[in-house]
Amino acid sequence: MNEKLKETIEYAMFKHKVSKLELSEYMDVSYPTMLSKLKRPELMKFSEADKLCKILNIELRVEFLNI
């Protein structure tokens, strides 16, 4: 599931032309922290996952909660 989730996030970033640096700014976290969260997205807090999904227009319940 981790790889599928990472691929989904990477594709959404590509599709919306959002860099990792821009994403860190949108999420109000440092760039190294953002890299860590993107490396292991399953460890994100629910609020962080929700914010990420809103920024990248991803369905939270489908991608993160696997419903």
**Domain count of the fold of the chain:** 1
DSSP label of 46: H
Reported as a single tens digit per residue, the pLDDT across 3-19 is: 888 888 999 999 999 99
- 8 A C-beta contact, residue 42 and residue 1: yes
Q: What is the CATH number of the domain that holds 20?
A: 1.10.260.40
Q: Please provide the DSSP assignment of 8-30 as one string.
A: HHHHHHHHTT--HHHHHHHTTS-
Local confidence band at 65 (pLDDT 50, 70, 90 cut-offs): low
The alpha carbon torsion through 50, 19, 24, 6 (nearest 10 deg) reads 50
> Could you tell me the residue range of the domain that residue 19 belongs to?
2-63
